[in-house]
Chain A
Amino acid sequence: MTFLLTLMVLAAGVLLTMRGIPWLFRAVSGLLGFKFRTSPLAQKRLRRFRSIRRGYISFVIVTSMFTTSLFLEVLVNDRPIMIRYDQNTAFPAVRDLANSWLFFVDGPFRTFDRSADFGIPGEGPLDYKAFSEIVDDPVTSFGPIAEERRQEMKDLSDEISESKLEIDDLLADGEEPEQWLIEDLEAATEDLAMLKIQIDNLGSIEKVFASGDASVFWPLYRHGPRRNRLDLPGTAPHGPSLPIPGITPRYSTAVLVSQTAGTRGGKPTYEVMAADPASLEPGQKFFVVDGVDDEPVTDVLGILLLRESMGVPELTARIAERQQKLDEPETLDGGLLSELRSKQESDQRLLDGILQQFGETGQAGIAEVLAQAEGRKFPDQGRLMTRFLDPWEAPLGTSDSGIDVLPLLLYGFRISVGFAMMVMGLGYVVGILAGAVMGYYGGWTDILLQRFIEIWGSVPFLFLIMIIASIVDPGFWMLVIFLVILRSWMAVTYQIRGEFYREKAKDYVQAAIGTGVSDFKVMIRHILPNSMIPVISRAPFSFVNYISALVSLDFLGFGLPPTDPSWGRLLNQGFQFLLIYPHLVLLPVMALAVTLFLVVLIGEAVREAFDPKVFSRLR
């Protein structure tokens, strides 16, 4: 179901990008009074671009991905798209989306819903996950809550009657009861009244939930790039739960057989068995889980630590050895004999079980209890797993602070591509202006600006950004501006300058100047459209460079603030856990390489379509 929805979202993204945005563009420019004429030459170039399949397909993929990623808040988020409780409705994810679209006004919508407005007593922000759990299963979730409150009420009323008795005693003895005692009594009575109201309300709240007047509507993936997932078992970073060959760590399963006679550290030990030696390695921790075989499991009874393990041959040898002793019962005294017998029996049972379930390769082990849920018993034939997630629980694992990697990568894509687009766009504006002035006016303007660029281009920009970023924490926009000022405008300037030099000498420009068209108009209307080709054809390649620059800066820790999702920081975390958690390196590298590879393919196609070089063949 989710899979189908995802496909539909992607298809919608493609449609929006390929049809919707051009239409919107035309409509808006039509409203503003621009008329769009594409010159025959441009049309020919576009056709040529489209005919280069791999480039065109990459273009569709990258642009559609980016437009889709603009809606990420309602697709992948830890807040629901919509929650409804009785009369109250809220759209937390949509609010997030609006906030990130209106980034220039700094969060115009408040970011949380009051808990009390949505049926959960309390003043703090609403816990969407808890709310959603209640909506899913109101009856069982309300039972414990109501029970807890009732217990509280009982305790409180007991306390009150005790205090009253005490005061009465004191009065009877003719003593003045102390002030605090009376105050306590008053406070307790007040609390009791509050609790009564709460319990009364609880009934009506439960009715609302049970009658289906509350609902919650989640995004496709229920975890965001900012909230950590430390509620997952084990410690962060978690390996991916999706079985990806080579990246997902080996998860083993085993069967719990029975409690042994012995103990370790005062806690009972258990016999376990598994299919092969690799799944039972001493030191391995297992979750004891409840449930039927194929269901995803989330109910944990406890944790076992495997102490020793042995294969079928060793077990057989042990049994045979013990049998030898048992064959001469006269050498042993009674207590020892019965102990040996019982051990022999349990070993034999274990061996039979292994042979029956797993055959000759089976493995047996002894595990000690590390933790056990209160009031739960470990079942015989219970399941043991090194993880108890369903494969889609945390498909790509979590980062070192427990943040889900999947949303990190997706949001990281948006921020990287958006960053590169901003740097490129602003750089083009500045670069084209400077280049146009240099090429059009020439003379001293040209010489001075050239010298300036020569000097400015030698500033070691990574060095300078690092120095500045080591003191102030640059945000997204500050980084964009740094990169534009220090780097991105210069290369464009040189190309535009050359083009302007060439075009200015041509007759049509001289004619335009001769008829008295203003300098600015000549530059914009006449020369610029004819000199954009080399600039456009190198755009995708500079795009690649800016994404790499952002990743490098983030990797070094001088980039985006730590709350922003970024590939570079994920890489840095992977660098810290190089040998233990390969997914933290491999996944962002894959995301980076695939994205940039697609962009390079686009660049290659654009270059070929806009600026074809016909080489003579040798033969």
Chain B
Amino acid sequence: MSGMWTYFARRLLLVPVTFLIITFLVYAVLRLTPGGPIEQLENQMKAAAAGEAGGGTGGLGGDGGGLDEKARDELKVYYNLDQPIPLAYLQWLGVWPKKTRSPVILADRAQQPDFWQQSQSLWSAYRIGDEELDRLVIEGEFQISGDTILREITLSDRQQHLPLIEEAARLLAGGVSSRSQLDRRLEDQGWSRSGTRFMRALTDEEKLESGLPARTQVQMLSTEADFDALQAHLEMKQMESNRNGSFYHVDHAFSGIIQGDFGRSFTYNKDALDVIVSKFPISIYFGLIGYLASWLVCIPLGISKAIRHKGTFDTASSVLVFLGYATPGFVACLLLLVLLGGGSYWNLVPLGGFRSADWNQWWSQGEYLRCIGDQVRHTLIPMFGYMVGSFASMTVLMKNSLLENFGADYVRTAFAKGLTEGRVIYVHALRNSLIPITAGIGHFLGLLFAGSFLIEKVCNIPGMGLLGYESIIRRDYPIILATLVFGVLIRLTGNILSDLIWALIDPRIRFK
């Protein structure tokens, strides 16, 4: 017996390791693949900008539509994308402190008037400097990229690099692919492109002479210094400011999934955990009913197939079993929806959903029968889909294990004792044959979660599967990760649970 307990202890120990590896894998894949929330936002903005009679861009705003660098940084901080992947992962787990920011409210300011007066004056100093900088930038047609100032190439530059300019003009006239080639060529030269203008960083001479470039450079440095001073001042009280003038309390705290913080869903704008919890019961309802239904069908069918092994009934029902194996559950749902959904054939069931929209109203009006009928009609097709999924394997499992038991010695003994056939089959043999099926409960927990993507999509059930599917399409990271966490945990514990149940109810089984 002790061998078994070490076996399960080892399995349990492996759970956290597996969990960490899988979540890290998915976390890394999510972060490494392009198309995150910021890109999605930018695409939306670009689409919107394209809609507005997109005239000539190429001004100071960069290449039309997108976010400027400052805004992108802000968003990165907001979505915690500014951290390196391993660190961000640890923060998401909740074993590394995460910087959280909460806005400063007016009441806070009233408590420390002196401090806030100082901050305010520092802020205005920065603001005035920043406006001055903006004015200079516009005047000199510069661009600011990070901490360098870019200006359009001058006449002397053109003369020095005539071949490059000619090539660039040629490439500029070409399509999109030649543009990227052009960008590479410019980059070799240390230049960059803004619309159709070629930019380069200010040279050291330009920074020193007393013209517009130098003044801009000086202004930029002093503005940065002002901003740093403001931040340093705020840091004393554990606060910070962004460049738009919002002040935040900064807190370093452990706040990850271990603490129950799954983040905020981008699409629902709610706590991810709340979203998931609200979908849970619906999935469980359909999964459980489907599972029970397949028990009710498969066990009797398996028994009668075993009793009439190789008989006509066995052969005929085998066709059904094979068909069940050959049809994926969601395909069966689709087929039934076409046949019964009120299209070209019969109109018996609704086209999916959990229940009708007026259900609650009916319930409060006391039309309970109508409510029950409605619920049943919504349940039928998904139930059938889940049933088809496990129908074939469960029936065959039941039949085979019963047949195996028929050959066992104890059955022969029972017959020899003179027991009736019914008693031998249904009391002695059946009890032992049910063991493998009972043990499947744990696996079922995992299946309920993973296999439901398709059925929930086809039947439009607002459960976990549909949530996971939609979150992937919308790249809603917190929800994707939260469904992953629950899915993996349930599956891992479910598998162990299955083996444990098996070991407990079947003394012949030895794990080691």
A618 with B406: CB separation less than 8 A: yes
Q: Tell me if A523 counts as interface (CB < 8 A to partner B).
A: no
Q: Which of B33, B35, B331 contacts A589 (CB 8 A)?
A: B331
A569-591 at interface with B (beta carbon < 8 Å): 571, 574-575, 578-580, 582, 585-586, 589
B472 with A470: CB separation less than 8 A: yes
CB neighbours (8 Å) of A463 from chain B are 26, 450, 468, 472, 483-484, 487
B338 with A574: CB separation less than 8 A: yes
A596 with B326: CB separation less than 8 A: yes
B406 with A597: CB separation less than 8 A: no
CB neighbours (8 Å) of A86 from chain B are none
Q: Tell me if A555 counts as interface (CB < 8 A to partner B).
A: yes
Assembly CA distance A121 to B415 (angstroms):
91
Q: Tell me if A548 counts as interface (CB < 8 A to partner B).
A: yes
B492 with A458: CB separation less than 8 A: yes
B17 with A460: CB separation less than 8 A: no
0/1 string, A518-553, CB within 8 A of B gives 1:
000000000000000000000001001000100110
Describe A's contact surface by its main secondary structure.
Answer: helix
Q: Which of A596, A600, A604, A615 contacts B309 (CB 8 A)?
A: A615
CB neighbours (8 Å) of A555 from chain B are 330, 454
CB neighbours (8 Å) of B34 from chain A are 471
A597 with B322: CB separation less than 8 A: yes
Assembly CA distance A466 to B491 (angstroms):
19
Q: Tell me if A601 counts as interface (CB < 8 A to partner B).
A: yes
Q: Tell me if B30 counts as interface (CB < 8 A to partner A).
A: yes
Q: Tell me if A192 counts as interface (CB < 8 A to partner B).
A: no
Which B residue's beta carbon lies closest to that of A601?
Answer: B322
Q: Tell me if B445 counts as interface (CB < 8 A to partner A).
A: no
CB neighbours (8 Å) of B450 from chain A are 460, 462-463
Assembly CA distance A154 to B495 (angstroms):
85
Q: Tell me if B335 counts as interface (CB < 8 A to partner A).
A: yes
Q: Tell me if B18 counts as interface (CB < 8 A to partner A).
A: yes
CB neighbours (8 Å) of B472 from chain A are 463, 466-467, 470
Assembly CA distance A482 to B250 (angstroms):
43
Which A residue's beta carbon lies closest to that of B421?
Answer: A618
CB neighbours (8 Å) of B325 from chain A are 541, 544, 596, 600
A471 with B33: CB separation less than 8 A: yes
Q: Which of A579, A595, A604, A616 contacts B343 (CB 8 A)?
A: A579
A585 with B338: CB separation less than 8 A: yes
Q: Tell me if B155 counts as interface (CB < 8 A to partner A).
A: no
Assembly CA distance A593 to B488 (angstroms):
31
Assembly CA distance A10 to B263 (angstroms):
59
Q: Tell me if A37 counts as interface (CB < 8 A to partner B).
A: no
Q: Tell me if A512 counts as interface (CB < 8 A to partner B).
A: no
Q: Tell me if A451 counts as interface (CB < 8 A to partner B).
A: yes
**Min CB distance, B278 to chain A, in Å?**
20
B454 with A552: CB separation less than 8 A: yes
CB neighbours (8 Å) of A580 from chain B are 343-344
A585 with B327: CB separation less than 8 A: no
Q: Which of A579, A589, A601 contacts B334 (CB 8 A)?
A: A589
Q: Tell me if A454 counts as interface (CB < 8 A to partner B).
A: yes
B284-330 at interface with A (beta carbon < 8 Å): 307, 309, 318, 322-323, 325-328, 330
Q: Tell me if B458 counts as interface (CB < 8 A to partner A).
A: yes
Q: Which of B323, B331, B453, B475 contacts A556 (CB 8 A)?
A: B453
B491 with A578: CB separation less than 8 A: no
Residue in B326, B341, B453, B458 whose Cβ sees the most chain A Cβ within 10 Å: B326
B341-380 at interface with A (beta carbon < 8 Å): 341-345, 351
**Min CB distance, A457 to chain B, in Å?**
9
**Min CB distance, B286 to chain A, in Å?**
18
B403 with A615: CB separation less than 8 A: yes
Say whether, besides A460-B487, A470-B473, A556-B453, A544 and B326 are in contact (CB < 8 Å): yes
CB neighbours (8 Å) of B400 from chain A are 613
B330 with A552: CB separation less than 8 A: yes
Say whether, besides A460-B450, A460-B488, A467-B480, A455 and B18 are in contact (CB < 8 Å): yes
CB neighbours (8 Å) of A454 from chain B are 14, 18
**Min CB distance, A485 to chain B, in Å?**
12
Assembly CA distance A471 to B457 (angstroms):
20
A579 with B454: CB separation less than 8 A: no
A586 with B326: CB separation less than 8 A: no
CB neighbours (8 Å) of B343 from chain A are 578-580, 582
Describe B's contact surface by its main secondary structure.
Answer: helix
Say whether, besides A458-B22, A462-B453, A599 and B338 are in contact (CB < 8 Å): no
Q: Tell me if B280 counts as interface (CB < 8 A to partner A).
A: no
Assembly CA distance A468 to B26 (angstroms):
10
Q: Tell me if B25 counts as interface (CB < 8 A to partner A).
A: yes
Assembly CA distance A600 to B344 (angstroms):
31
Assembly CA distance A384 to B280 (angstroms):
56
B454 with A592: CB separation less than 8 A: no
B331 with A600: CB separation less than 8 A: no
Assembly CA distance A596 to B458 (angstroms):
21
Q: Tell me if B87 counts as interface (CB < 8 A to partner A).
A: no
Q: Tell me if B337 counts as interface (CB < 8 A to partner A).
A: yes
CB neighbours (8 Å) of A575 from chain B are 334, 458
A467 with B30: CB separation less than 8 A: yes
Which B residue's beta carbon lies closest to that of A239?
Answer: B344
CB neighbours (8 Å) of A599 from chain B are 326
**Min CB distance, B135 to chain A, in Å?**
42
Q: Tell me if B96 counts as interface (CB < 8 A to partner A).
A: no
B331 with A458: CB separation less than 8 A: no
0/1 string, A443-483, CB within 8 A of B gives 1:
00000000100110011101110111011100000000000
Q: Which of A471, A548, A616 contacts B35 (CB 8 A)?
A: A471
Assembly CA distance A600 to B391 (angstroms):
14
Q: Which of B30, B338, B406 contacts A582 (CB 8 A)?
A: B338
Q: Tell me if A35 counts as interface (CB < 8 A to partner B).
A: no
CB neighbours (8 Å) of A455 from chain B are 14, 17-18, 21-22
Assembly CA distance A471 to B326 (angstroms):
31
CB neighbours (8 Å) of B487 from chain A are 460, 463
B323 with A467: CB separation less than 8 A: no
0/1 string, B41-53, CB within 8 A of A gives 1:
0000000000000
CB neighbours (8 Å) of B473 from chain A are 470
A592 with B344: CB separation less than 8 A: no
Assembly CA distance A458 to B17 (angstroms):
11
B447-475 at interface with A (beta carbon < 8 Å): 450, 453-454, 457-458, 468-469, 472-473, 475
CB neighbours (8 Å) of B403 from chain A are 615
Which A residue's beta carbon lies closest to that of B449?
Answer: A460
Which A residue's beta carbon lies closest to that of B472?
Answer: A466
Q: Which of A458, A613, A615 contacts B491 (CB 8 A)?
A: A458
Say whether, besides A582-B344, A585-B335, A592-B327, A615 and B322 are in contact (CB < 8 Å): no
CB neighbours (8 Å) of A376 from chain B are none
A93-138 at interface with B (beta carbon < 8 Å): none
CB neighbours (8 Å) of A451 from chain B are 14
Q: Which of B309, B338, B475, B488 contacts A578 (CB 8 A)?
A: B338
Assembly CA distance A600 to B326 (angstroms):
7
Assembly CA distance A617 to B421 (angstroms):
13
**Min CB distance, A105 to chain B, in Å?**
24
CB neighbours (8 Å) of A617 from chain B are 309, 406
Closest 4 CB pairs of A and B: A579-B343, A596-B326, A616-B407, A615-B403
Q: CB within 8 Å of B: which residues of A?
A: 246, 249, 451, 454-455, 458-460, 462-464, 466-468, 470-472, 541, 544, 548, 551-552, 555-556, 571, 574-575, 578-580, 582, 585-586, 589, 592-593, 595-597, 599-601, 604, 613, 615-618
Provide 11 A-B residue pairs closer than 8 Å at the C-beta atoms, listed in order of the A residue. Answer: A451-B14, A463-B450, A472-B33, A544-B325, A579-B338, A589-B334, A600-B322, A615-B404, A615-B407, A618-B406, A618-B421
Q: CB within 8 Å of A: which residues of B?
A: 14, 17-18, 21-22, 25-26, 29-30, 33-35, 307, 309, 318, 322-323, 325-328, 330-331, 334-335, 337-338, 341-345, 351, 400, 403-404, 406-407, 421, 425, 450, 453-454, 457-458, 468-469, 472-473, 475, 480, 483-484, 487-488, 491-492, 495
A578-B341, A585-B335, A618-B307 given. 4 additional CB < 8 A pairs? Answer: A460-B487, A556-B469, A571-B334, A578-B343
